[in-house]
Amino acid sequence: MMMNSSTTPSPFYASPRSGSGAPMWTLYAAGFDPRKFLVTQAALVQNTWPDPANFPKMTWATNYQRLACQTMFTFFYAGRDFAPKCVIDGVNIQDYLEAHFFGACRHLAQRIRDAGDLEEEVVIGYESMNEPNKGFVGHPDLTKIPKDQNLKKFTTPTAWQSMLSGSGREIDVDTYDFGSFGPYKSGTQHVDPKGISTWLDPETWDDSKYGWKRAESWKLGVDVWAQHGVWDPATDSMELPQYFAKHPTTGETLDQEYWTNHYFVAHYRKYRDAIRSVWPEAIMLCQPAPFEIPPTIKGTDDDDKNMVFASHFYDGITLITKKWNKLWNVDVLGLLRGRYSSPAFAIKVGETAIRNCFKNQLSSVRQEGIEHMGVHPCVYTEIGIPYDMDDQKAYKTGDYSSQAAAIDANHFAVEGSQAQGLTWWVYTASNSHFWGDNWNGEDLSIFCEEDLPLPSLSSSSDRSTTGGKSSPDPSSPRHSESQSQLSGASSAQVTPSNLKKTLTISDMTPIPRSTNQTTATDSGEARGYRAAEAYIRPHPELVHGNLLTHGFDLKTATFTLTLSAPSPTPSELPTVIFLPAFHFPPGSGQTSVEVSGGKWEVRSEEVREEGGEQQVLRWWCGEGEQKITVKGARRKVGPTADGGEGGEEEEGYLDAYWQMGKNCSVM
């Protein structure tokens, strides 16, 4: 388990009561009234939207470029430099927020240490703040949309417009949508807060509620940036459009690189030191801003042996369109790094090219980590796909083949990048077909209680699981039926261990619907794992020597691994590979193994946590480069969600993208 410090500023900072982000008091400490975020559009979140069921897709992500988040990120990392008047309890707002954040994380680490049996067994390390952002720092002109703002959706205000509407002023703001040409301007919207300000009203707010004392230099009810001379509320005129473009003391030009290597690194050092004051050997997962160049710390004191480079990856095209497009995709990282003279050249056509595109992007991110941070493990601590593709068609048909293909492409990319692993986003126990993850319209959970339950551990092992079933294959865990009509369905507690115990070939075969009504209710079984065949994959657990490559081909159920062994494998230290029984059914005669040399065995081992079993392959090989290939039970892959190999919509997107040339702006 890696502890991620997500209770920090993030796009969710402006989403009180949504279950993510920093605690509400931090917004009050910053002078905000979060109850006024909606009317001023200082932040837009589903739980305060007038019609939550129709909250615009992916609008939450635009909070990165709205007043609340931009201000909070600036406070959190650079408040001393850009908001010197914001003093609370005798210290700058940056120091105040950081001290409480580090103190909370240190307290958590101490409680875990005091438990006595969690460190190194349950908790293996601590990750830095989730998806950090530079806020206003480095903004070249507050009156314009910066060129590096790739996400434009719904209302897209400039920073200056956000400040105005945040103080109750009327604005006309451009609106954007995501279509064939990427983000495109769809019109304008008149935003009228009717004089309501998102800043705390000193007539109704009392700081003594939280026990802090605000300095006289910080006036409640007035935009903090107006108080620093950025704009004049008396005339509503912009005075310092480049206030954040240069360092106020040194005059240095500020950009993403400067922010990463100065503001982010300074924060990370304090976080690392806070954790290691409790656990000196703690593994620290350093997470810079995703898809940005990591900090240049190679060869410095920050390049420590117990650090992991953590990054995130999402396929933006699939995430925004909520469709697995097998026809084309885009090399987003290549575009961001300027590797193409025209965006048209970043198009990758065909599923094989798309999968390799993902792999190459993740390989590049890992390599950038090595070049800038030194040789450290690379873990993708957030990666996932939307399950509500194609207007939730899978929820009606039970065919999750599109989701399985997208999941497989992401896992293929991680395996091929030679990263050291991933943590999948997300498992949501309360996920439903209507509300998704109960979070800003997202539906990325691998689990949904409304989907077909996995049978109990005592399920008969002789249930038919092979042979000529028509596609989509109902024996596949990607095939699921809505169970919302089942009366009295239980919500069994699900853990990684009991999930692993259910993943046998028999236990992943759906029980006929006539028996489900009693089984789902009475047995307390695990329910609703969606497209599980794509993420339940073989992987190396222990390797004798250096791991060179490994990967799993879902379509052919073939796992390959190559390693370089410094010596013959000691008898007590074999290479160990996890073989999920669904893909490699024991005793079926459908699993074959080929090795370049040595001996191997397949056996079941006990899972310590709950007494279940898992199937592993153990391999002893000679010195030098060696290879093993394990082939399992091939299963018929279902059609695309629309029943074909790609539709007119996919082709239309490609045609439009191909023509847009240098005018394209891509997520």
Phi, psi for 558 (deg, rounded to 5): -120, 125
User: What is the separation, in whole angstroms, between the first and last Cα of the chain?
Assistant: 31
Q: Is 625 a catalytic residue?
A: no
8 Å CB contact between 185 and 661: no
Q: What tokens does 132 get? A: 């950090």
List, as one string, the DSSP characters of 579-641: --TTTS-TTSS--EEEESSSEEEEEEEE-TTTS-EEEEEEEE--SEEEEEEEE----PPPPPT
DSSP element (H, E) containing 564: strand 558-565
Phi, psi of 214 (to 5 degrees): -90, 140
Q: Do the Cβ atoms of 263 and 97 come closer than 8 Å?
A: no
Half-sphere exposure of 175 (CA within 13 A, CB side): 12
Q: List the one residue out of 40, 41, 43 whose CA is nearest residue 16.
A: 43
Q: Where are the beta strands (DSSP E) in 137-267?
A: 154-155, 171-179, 182-191, 231-232, 237-238
Cβ distance 304 to 638 under 8 Å?
no
CB of 169 closer than 8 Å to CB of 193: yes
What's the Rg (C-alpha) of the chain? 26
Omega before residue 426 within 30° of 0, cis: yes
Alpha helices in 277-399 (DSSP H): 316-321, 332-336, 351-373, 389-397
Interacting residues of 486 by C-beta distance below 8 A, sequence separation 6+: 516, 517, 520, 521
HSE-up of residue 323 (Cα within 13 Å, Cβ side): 16
Report the C-alpha dihedral over residues 392, 394, 397, 402, rounded to 10 degrees. Answer: 130
What's the CA gap between 126 and 3, in Å, rounded? 5
| Distance from C-alpha of 184 to C-alpha of 665, rounded to nearest angstrom | 9
For CA atoms 562, 567, 569, 575, the dihedral sign is negative
Cα distance between residue 41 and residue 47, in whole Å: 14
Structure tokens, 347: 């198009």
H/E stretch holding 98: helix 93-115
The one-letter amino acid code at 657 reads: Y
Interatomic CA distance for residues 156 and 65, integer angstroms: 8
Burial letters 440-479, b for 16+ CB under 10 A, else e: bbbbbbbbbbbbbbbbbeebeeebebeeeeeebbbbbbbb
> Which 3 state secondary structure label does DSSP give 521?
helix
DSSP secondary structure letter of residue 479? B
Distances (CA, A) of 459 to 345, 391, 490, 573, 614: 52, 34, 18, 35, 16
Q: Is the dihedral of CA 179, 180, 183, 185 positive or negative?
A: negative
Known active-site residue 650: no
Exactly one of 382, 415, 525, 533 is catalytic; name it: 382
477, 579, 452: which is closest to 534 by C-alpha? 477
Token couple for 259 = 């922010």
Catalytic residues, by residue number, are: 131, 382
